[in-house]
Structure 1
């Protein structure tokens, strides 16, 4: 049984605790380790590993602290080089090559973001369940089957973003950057339409923009399309 606990999400920091009932992991470490400890009631000694998608600080702020605490951190070579980190706890993983952490079999896959070598992760548990983690990517070229839990970025709506540009709240340059690096509501809906959702139990919408999103609307749209349980942490 997969359990998901959002410790932080958004441009100020991203960190998610997951477990299959046997092996706890962290997805991202974009907040201080002290904040991670507090959020988990200081129960961090059993964390088996940390997956980092890319080098932006809101996803890897605590990478040095986490490594110094004795936790293995998994990332692409491009992310490692961009961070300039040289620590024996940092483990380089390769695109589309599975690796194991405890009871999880993990498949990294390439995503579309304005960084060196960003990854998403597909995590299959020997204890049952399959989780897809996809954030900070304006597009996903892959289709997935058998997923039970979805953690998807849903950063902005094109309609809201366009309205904010028109009224001067968002500059045109920023609009282009957002559209070329983040997953929109519209892209989330398109992604859900072409994937097998037959086994999906939960959908978690992550990394909503403060000014270019609408939590209630996003949840409603995804629920109506999928008929699944949707969370917006």
Structure 2
């Protein structure tokens, strides 16, 4: 599988997943014009767009995508209702019920976030026989995932950086509470990795890192040291 980051973070999230046969857009949280540009205006292989939840940094480009293309949108019933858009291209995903989209088999699962019905995705390619797990905007994941080849996971903040920002006044205590109850920290990522089978894991992609409460290079070094697996920081048009 090939993973391309178009945008990642509180200003917008969008990723492209390809297995060499078909493609999926994961999130649509920037303008669809920017998504087109980021993909070199080649949308011919995109079989669908998966959206984890309704917040604008994950859905900003959805309306234009539905208006201008035949790309179907897949999300939970709660997310689709929260978007308040009526379109026949909007298709419902049901927690722990598999769906097939082109060469991909998608298993949605519930995550914990301050949204109506947020989901994560376990995605298998029937062509490459590889598995990707996608988790963003969640403070807890209760599931374990066997035989992961790729992991795309939110690593939003570090507890010590967040607390230092609260003490300095850069972050209000009410904002701290919201972060703790809606996002995955570096500590959460480490616990998740310790709890799962990493024997097949080839790549870890760290997503949605906070500009103020995160440290990309520190996070990359700590996760690589823990796992011995290549770690990539999700940034627009490049992975470092």
TM-score (norm 1): 0.99
Show the counterpart of 2:58: 59
Please give the alpha-carbon distance, in whole angstroms, between the structure 1 residues aligned to 2:36 and 2:131. 26
Show the counterpart of 1:8: 7
Please give the alpha-carbon distance, in whole angstroms, between the structure 1 residues aligned to 2:45 and 2:192. 34
Alignment of 1:26-175 (within 5 A): 26-68=25-67, 69-127=69-127, 128-175=129-176
Query: What SS class does the counterpart of residue 133 from structure 2 fall into?
Result: strand
- Number of matched residues? 232
**1:60-107 CA distance string (max 9 Å, x none):** 111111112111000000001111111000001100000000111100
1:45 Cα deviation from its structure 2 partner: 2.4
8 A contact 2:98–2:108 mirrored in 1: yes
Query: What SS class does the counterpart of residue 153 from structure 2 fall into?
Result: strand
Please give the alpha-carbon distance, in whole angstroms, between the structure 2 residues aligned to 1:84 and 1:39. 27
Show the counterpart of 1:229: 230
Show the counterpart of 1:198: 199
**1:21-61 CA distance string (max 9 Å, x none):** 11111000001111011111100122100000000000011
Please give the alpha-carbon distance, in whole angstroms, between the structure 2 residues aligned to 1:120 and 1:66. 21
Gaps of 5+ in 1: none
**1:175-206 CA distance string (max 9 Å, x none):** 00000000000000000000000000000000
8 A contact 2:30–2:57 mirrored in 1: yes
Q: List structure 1 runs of 4+ shifted beyond 2 angstroms.
A: none
Show the counterpart of 2:185: 184
Q: Output the aligned Cα RMSD.
A: 0.6
Gaps of 5+ in 2: 235-240
TM-score (norm 2): 0.96
